[in-house]
């Protein structure tokens, strides 16, 4: 399950190790490690590994790629930040708050999708967002759910001071909702669907109202990508071949989605329902267009402001500018001398042009 969480346990030590590994990488290498975790938009990676698509593309470029599933999303990010993995599936907010803010130069080289309803604010026995005022709100603190709450409150001219955030594990969220004292939650699918099964549950805001702001990415260590372009080419080849298979309107497509559904703990109907609230960029040209859009700068400006407000860009950060974010047109948000997070559509552009 995608947890959207922020964890600092391996943060400093991990980031320093990641820096040393990135800085020391000069020679092309042959073996790579990719970490991923359970979420509707990332299930293609597990399927690709299980069905030989990963090996096919790795063999094409004379390399090997080990794709490992993590049951704990946070741990996958920590392992990447520590330099143990070359690439990881991650949200845009978590990529900025953890590896990038920790000093690990990180490139978003596949923009796979954005949440288009998978994340939601739910109230008990109330059906208007304004009714949230004065309530305790259960969510995973310092997470994308926390960000969604901030955006929801802003839409009705409120702020976090109008509610009280109660930090609650995603694993406990559905059960917590059933207790009498819990009246408001912010969470993500499949938990959203489970909670909405209760007759008193009302969805009052979701990520479709902030389209494009919660992105699901494949990011890689920037130096590793620079030294090993074959790795980037193989990853995009794997990704788009797998999407073609899973979205095909035939028996093969259905079988692929059924396999992904089973691996994620649901059935085909449940998986297709989650896909429906995910804006998946099925074609590389669509992903490129989104990555090059002006909306990315607006979104990342909001995200970095949120992270700075929550002191998640480092305890010594003087402003949201502390970490430089390079956009697809090479313009930089923040400190141009400390660019640690980059949107690079060049590998997706190769796929769009049929040049892999």
Please report, in tens digits, the pLDDT of each residue of the chain (356 residues total). 554 444 443 444 444 444 434 444 457 899 999 999 988 999 999 999 999 999 999 999 999 999 999 988 889 999 999 999 999 999 999 999 999 999 999 999 999 999 999 999 999 999 999 999 999 999 989 889 999 999 999 999 999 999 999 999 888 999 999 999 999 999 988 889 899 999 999 999 999 999 999 999 999 999 999 999 999 999 999 999 999 999 999 999 999 999 999 998 889 999 999 999 999 999 999 999 999 999 999 999 999 999 999 999 988 899 999 999 999 999 999 999 999 999 999 999 999 999 99
299 and 191 together in one domain? no
Task: Show the CA angle centred on residue 54, arms to residues 349 and 97, nearest 5°.
Answer: 65
199 and 227 together in one domain? no
Residue 265 covered by a domain: yes
153 and 289 together in one domain? no
Residue 257 covered by a domain: yes
Stated length of the chain: 356
Residue 200 covered by a domain: yes
191 and 272 together in one domain? no
Residue 136 covered by a domain: yes
Residue 4 covered by a domain: no
Tally of domains in the chain: 2
89 and 171 together in one domain? no
Residue 38 covered by a domain: yes
Whole domain around residue 159: which residue ranges?
119-209
146 and 111 together in one domain? no
Residue 3 covered by a domain: no
CATH number of the domain to which 201 belongs: 3.40.190.10
140 and 267 together in one domain? no
Of 188, 209, 230, the residue at which a domain comes to its end is: 209
Of 209, 234, 268, the residue at which a domain comes to its end is: 209
pLDDT value, residue 327: 98
Strand bridging mode 324-326 / 339-343: parallel
**Torsion over CA: 318, 323, 325, 330 (sign):** positive
How far is Cα 273 from Cα 304, in angstroms, rounded to an integer?
A: 31
Residue 313 covered by a domain: yes
pLDDT value, residue 1: 52
**Torsion over CA: 91, 92, 97, 102 (sign):** positive
229 and 313 together in one domain? yes
131 and 75 together in one domain? no
165 and 73 together in one domain? no
For every residue of 129-189, DSSP letters joined together read: GGGGTT-EEEE-TTSHHHHHHHHHHHHTT--GGGSEEEE--HHHHHHHHTSTT--EEEEET
299 and 319 together in one domain? yes
Of 170, 186, 209, the residue at which a domain comes to its end is: 209
184 and 99 together in one domain? no
pLDDT value, residue 54: 98
Rg (CA), the chain: 20
pLDDT value, residue 26: 56
């Amino acid at each position: 399950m995608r947890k959207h969480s922020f964890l600092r346990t391996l943060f400093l030590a991990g980031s320093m190790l990641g820096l040393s590994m990135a800085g020391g990488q000069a020679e092309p290498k042959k073996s790579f490690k990719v970490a991923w975790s359970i979420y509707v938009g990332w299930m293609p990676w597990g399927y690709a590994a299980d069905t030989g698509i990963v090996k096919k593309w790795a063999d094409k470029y004379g390399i090997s790629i080990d794709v490992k599933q993590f049951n704990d999303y946070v741990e996958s990010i920590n392992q990447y930040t520590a330099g143990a993995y070359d690439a990881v599936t991650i949200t845009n907010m978590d990529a900025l708050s953890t590896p990038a803010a920790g000093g690990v130069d990180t490139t978003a080289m596949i923009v796979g999708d954005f949440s288009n309803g998978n994340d939601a604010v739910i109230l008990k026995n109330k059906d208007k967002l304004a009714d949230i005022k004065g309530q305790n709100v259960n969510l995973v603190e310092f997470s994308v759910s926390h960000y969604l709450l901030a955006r929801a409150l802003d839409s009705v001219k409120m702020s976090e001071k109008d509610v009280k955030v109660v930090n609650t594990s995603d694993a406990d969220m559905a059960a917590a909702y059933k207790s009498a004292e819990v009246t408001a939650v912010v969470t993500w699918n499949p938990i959203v669907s489970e909670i909405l099964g209760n007759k008193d549950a009302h969805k009052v805001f979701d990520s479709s109202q902030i389209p494009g702001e919660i992105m699901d990415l494949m990011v890689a260590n920037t130096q590793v990508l620079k030294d090993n372009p074959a790795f980037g080419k193989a990853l995009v080849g794997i990704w788009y071949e797998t999407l073609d298979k899973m979205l095909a309107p035939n028996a093969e497509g259905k079988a692929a989605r059924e396999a992904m559904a089973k691996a994620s703990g649901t059935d085909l109907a449940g998986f297709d329902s989650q896909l429906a609230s995910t804006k998946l960029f099925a074609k590389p040209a669509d992903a490129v267009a989104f990555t090059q859009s002006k909306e990315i700068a607006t979104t990342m400006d909001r995200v970095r402001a949120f992270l700075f407000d929550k002191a998640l860009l480092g305890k010594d950060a003087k402003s949201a500018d502390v970490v430089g974010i390079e956009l697809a047109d090479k313009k930089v948000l923040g400190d141009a001398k400390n660019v640690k997070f980059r949107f690079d559509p060049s590998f997706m552009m190769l796929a769009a042009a049929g040049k892999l």
